[in-house]
Structure 1
């Protein structure tokens, strides 16, 4: 029987997010006859932890908030203890591998920049592979950017989530990555179509623009809310439903109250199944200042919902402007003009719906799994 390539993926926790969904997809679909996969989850936490495939070995270091005491004092003590343990093992990777991981691996994978340091400090003689999904052009913290893009050079291979993600580093910093490839994230359109029918969703005010993303300032929902208010004031009745949780939730709630749009700018928080909310909307809007290759765009195209999106990151590699969607700049004026166009021009949105039916053919998942498999096999051969 041929030797299976032993692969270790490392990740912090499984809260709902794009990277976590990409990671789960890889864990599910990489061929088991070629790979023996282990997943090291630092904290057993997050909505998606129950979705980890049962046939891979799971190693966890600390329990998540969900499994901690309901007593506030006890919980605080548990969190302090957890942080001390995490800090100890982060600073002592040899002890972590000896006591907790206890296995040797051919390949070690960092699915996000948060794991770069952990993988690079591994004591194993494995080949080390990084995934990078971040558009560095929108990060004002130069020190942080340089630390990430320099860390990438230390890996044996880097997989970029879009062409733009790699190109922008070359354009801004004149840094090239000869040991790298571009592999798009797979998009499960058939699964999304099934999930979208799981339960009914009714909105009070149509037309509805849905949106989905983590509530982070660079996702630009504060700007979207200003646009929403402006359109309402001009007599364009509509509502916006935002699916996602995150650090900006309280700020956005406060802003909605100040603008008096709490009934029409709906903050729906994270949803295990967001697709019925999208399917029952009329349009989709993505206002982000930065993205890489967002799964959501392909999923929404699969549900045949017309999209107005900012022209950032790898999005123009997914949407052909004014053919199967409409691209705008990530500022208030451009987003306003794009949304107003959707609210006033049904012929346009019908054209996008018609063209999207064929556009989804560009998302070929088998090709993606084959590309990842090929990179892993080549790196294993180089390990010798």
Structure 2
């Protein structure tokens, strides 16, 4: 009988983000008989915890919800967590001897770019090291070329879009480094999306006479919900009737809610918070709008394409690739003006979007769950 490969996977938490969802989808489709997996979380929290297969061993540094405020009563707990995590990052041998009980791993896997140093500084010299890059790091100011080049310390660098692949290929100094870069589309479950979209929902009423633009994602600045609301207000002031529906939660939720009040658009904007099934809202909305400032490969567009939605998306990493160079949806400039022109076009000339609907009718994704999972399994088996 073949011995199971021992794998350590690290991620911050299993909150409601794209990378977290993709990781859990991948874990749900892994063969149990081949691997022994420890999933190490910095914080035992998040909506996807319940979806992790029972055979995967979850270990955590801290427990409880993420603390996103600076309220006086929260500061001691927040500080304790930060100090503990920094100590273990600085002295990884404490973590490996303590929480990880001296276990030897064949593979150590950073499921997000933020876990780079934790994995590369592992005291286990013999383990193979893999990282999964979900973001266009060139858009993050802390990631200079020097910082990005540190990722070449991994044995394999999994990237999720052509733009991120190009970024790494351009920075590679030799053929050996180039060989480390592997583009693998995110594993997402099309059948699950389609079946969940038919489920009932009860906390929002769509108005057939007023077009609704839906946007789904973690509420933080990257997603550009502030830009979306400002454009919404501008369009309303010009007499264009429409509604905005935002599904998602995150540390910027209260700020966006406050902006909604300041702009006096509470009657036309709904913020539903997190939903473990956003697909019925997708299905019933008229347009899907991606207002992001930057992305890696926006998972949410995969969902919108699966549900054949009329799409407007800012030109960020992965969008041209996903929308087939503009065949499957309207790609706009990555700015407030771009979002404004796209939404105005949808409201004034909605018939222009019929060509996208026609192109989506018989469109088959060039990537699917099975292929993506098989590619990652192949990496785990051959690294």
Aligned 1:184-223 pairs, distance under 5 A: 184-200=185-201, 201-204=204-207, 206-223=210-227
In structure 2, do the counterparts of structure 1 residues 113 and 157 end up closer, same or farther at CA, with 3 Å as the change threshold? same
| Between 192-201 and 12-21, the greater mean CA deviation after superposition | 192-201
| 3-state SS, counterpart of residue 134 of structure 1 | coil
1:158 aligns with 2:160: no
| Between 310-319 and 40-49, the greater mean CA deviation after superposition | 40-49
Match of 2:374 in 1: 370
| 3-state SS, counterpart of residue 188 of structure 2 | coil
| 3-state SS, counterpart of residue 274 of structure 2 | coil
Give TM-score scaled by structure 1 length. Answer: 0.89
Match of 2:148 in 1: 149
Is contact 1:304–1:356 with CA below 8 Å preserved after alignment? yes
Match of 2:106 in 1: 106
| 3-state SS, counterpart of residue 273 of structure 2 | coil
Match of 1:23 in 2: 23
In structure 2, do the counterparts of structure 1 residues 203 and 147 end up closer, same or farther at CA, with 3 Å as the change threshold? farther
The separation in 2 between residues aligned to 1:289 and 1:170, in whole angstroms, is 23
In structure 2, do the counterparts of structure 1 residues 78 and 258 end up closer, same or farther at CA, with 3 Å as the change threshold? closer
Aligned 1:299-314 pairs, distance under 5 A: 299-314=303-318
Is contact 1:112–1:133 with CA below 8 Å preserved after alignment? yes
Aligned 1:27-46 pairs, distance under 5 A: 27-46=27-46
Match of 1:291 in 2: 295
Is contact 2:9–2:38 with CA below 8 Å preserved after alignment? yes
- Spell out, residue by residue over 1:319-374, the C-alpha distance to the aligned partner (whole angstroms, 9 max, x if none): 02442211111112222221122223343323322321332432322111111111
| 3-state SS, counterpart of residue 300 of structure 1 | helix
Shift of 1:254: 2.8
1:4 aligns with 2:7: no
The separation in 1 between residues aligned to 2:92 and 2:213, in whole angstroms, is 47
| 3-state SS, counterpart of residue 164 of structure 2 | helix
| 3-state SS, counterpart of residue 89 of structure 1 | helix
Is contact 2:286–2:309 with CA below 8 Å preserved after alignment? yes
Shift of 1:170: 4.9
Shift of 1:241: 0.8
Between Structure 1 and Structure 2, how many residues are aligned?
371
Let me know the Cα RMSD of the aligned residues.
2.3
In structure 2, do the counterparts of structure 1 residues 349 and 197 end up closer, same or farther at CA, with 3 Å as the change threshold? same
| 3-state SS, counterpart of residue 232 of structure 2 | helix
Match of 2:69 in 1: none
Shift of 1:79: 4.3
| 3-state SS, counterpart of residue 48 of structure 2 | helix
Mind listing any 5+ residue stretches in structure 1 that lack a counterpart? 67-71, 380-384
Aligned 1:222-301 pairs, distance under 5 A: 222-301=226-305
Give TM-score scaled by structure 2 length. Answer: 0.90
The separation in 2 between residues aligned to 1:347 and 1:203, in whole angstroms, is 20
| Between 370-379 and 345-354, the greater mean CA deviation after superposition | 345-354
Aligned 1:300-379 pairs, distance under 5 A: 300-379=304-383
Shift of 1:56: 1.3
Shift of 1:77: 4.9
The separation in 1 between residues aligned to 2:376 and 2:87, in whole angstroms, is 33
Match of 1:130 in 2: 131
The separation in 1 between residues aligned to 2:345 and 2:80, in whole angstroms, is 54
Is contact 1:298–1:363 with CA below 8 Å preserved after alignment? no
The separation in 1 between residues aligned to 2:263 and 2:65, in whole angstroms, is 34
The separation in 1 between residues aligned to 2:279 and 2:224, in whole angstroms, is 21
Is contact 1:14–1:20 with CA below 8 Å preserved after alignment? yes
| Between 332-341 and 295-304, the greater mean CA deviation after superposition | 332-341
Is contact 2:169–2:181 with CA below 8 Å preserved after alignment? no
| 3-state SS, counterpart of residue 153 of structure 1 | helix
The separation in 2 between residues aligned to 1:311 and 1:359, in whole angstroms, is 21
Is contact 2:168–2:181 with CA below 8 Å preserved after alignment? no
Aligned 1:59-74 pairs, distance under 5 A: 59-65=59-65
Is contact 1:42–1:62 with CA below 8 Å preserved after alignment? yes
The separation in 2 between residues aligned to 1:361 and 1:322, in whole angstroms, is 15
The separation in 1 between residues aligned to 2:190 and 2:225, in whole angstroms, is 26
